[in-house]
Amino acid sequence: MNIAVAVDDEVRYEARLSASEAGPAAKRIVVGYGFWVFLLSDIVMFAAIFAAYAVLAHATAGGPSGMQLFNQRSVAIETGCLLASSYTCGMMSLAISSRRYAVTYLAALITFVLGAAFLALELREFAGMIAIGAGPQRSAFLSAFFTLVGCHGLHVTAGLVWMAVMMAQLAIKGLSATVERRLLCFSLFWHALDIVWVWLFTVVYLMGVVS
């Protein structure tokens, strides 16, 4: 008993060497860091589009303004969809780390459905705006709006495709280390999209209705 504890302590001590003594980091950590740098570069790109939108937000050129166009109820539902899908994506990560396949597939399916529901609501909103003549060519404000919200929508679409591909890989290859790392990157991507959406509904929809 005592020996076991001593060995356990030794293992723990070995594991807690400082970063400079511990040797190269595990591949999972290196991959996560690399993908995190990509995500940050993506967020910097979004920052440029956000800046363009903020500059052009009042340049409606006599056309409809955000206050007339935005439907807060549908934005609230879209936000709920994305938040819930982030949560189920987290459940998927937990199921993967404890090797529960059925839960993984179920969580991925719910995440996919919620993401698709978000996308459908957004497309319906776009179609409604274009139908009343408030398309991207109407004013600088609407050009910036469609660029910003559309860019986020494209990212969500890419995320849905990526998730479908990952589920196919999981079914064919099983839960190998490579697939697990890819799924880690996917969940980072999905959660980062949620952060972009938080800024989007705050800056575009809520501030657009306020001012």
Partner 1 sequence: MTDTQYDRAPGDASALPDMERGTSSGVLVYTIGLALALLLTALSFWVANTSLLWAPGISLGLTVLAIAQMGIHLVFFLHITTGPDNTNNVMALAFGVLIVILVVVGSLLIMADLNDNMMPTAEIMNLHMQR
Binding site for partner 1 (CB under 8 A): 11-12, 15-16, 18-19, 22, 25-26, 28-29, 32-33, 36-37, 40-41, 43-44, 47-48, 50-52, 54-56, 58-62, 72, 76, 79-80, 83-84, 86-87, 90-91, 93-94, 96-98, 140, 188, 191-192, 194-195, 198-199, 201-203, 206-207, 209-211
User: Can you say whether residue 17 is alpha, beta or left, with left for phi > 0 and alpha for psi between -120 and 50 degrees?
Assistant: beta
| 131 vs 155 by CB, closer to partner 1 | 155
- Tell me the two tokens of residue 132: 């009343």
CB of 88 vs partner 1, minimal distance in Å: 9
Residues 6+ apart with CB under 8 A from 208: 57, 65, 66, 67, 70
Helix (H, G, I), strand (E, B) or coil at 21: coil
CB of 98 vs partner 1, minimal distance in Å: 5
| 97 vs 131 by CB, closer to partner 1 | 97
Helix (H, G, I), strand (E, B) or coil at 57: coil
Nearest C-alpha neighbor of 67 from the set 56, 76, 58? 58
| 34 vs 133 by CB, closer to partner 1 | 34
CA atoms within 13 A of residue 145's CA, in its CB half-sphere: 28
Tell me the residue type at 200: L
CB of 186 vs partner 1, minimal distance in Å: 13
Indicate the angle between helix axes 140-173 and 177-200, nearest 10 degrees: 160
| 51 vs 131 by CB, closer to partner 1 | 51
CB of 82 vs partner 1, minimal distance in Å: 10
| 86 vs 146 by CB, closer to partner 1 | 86
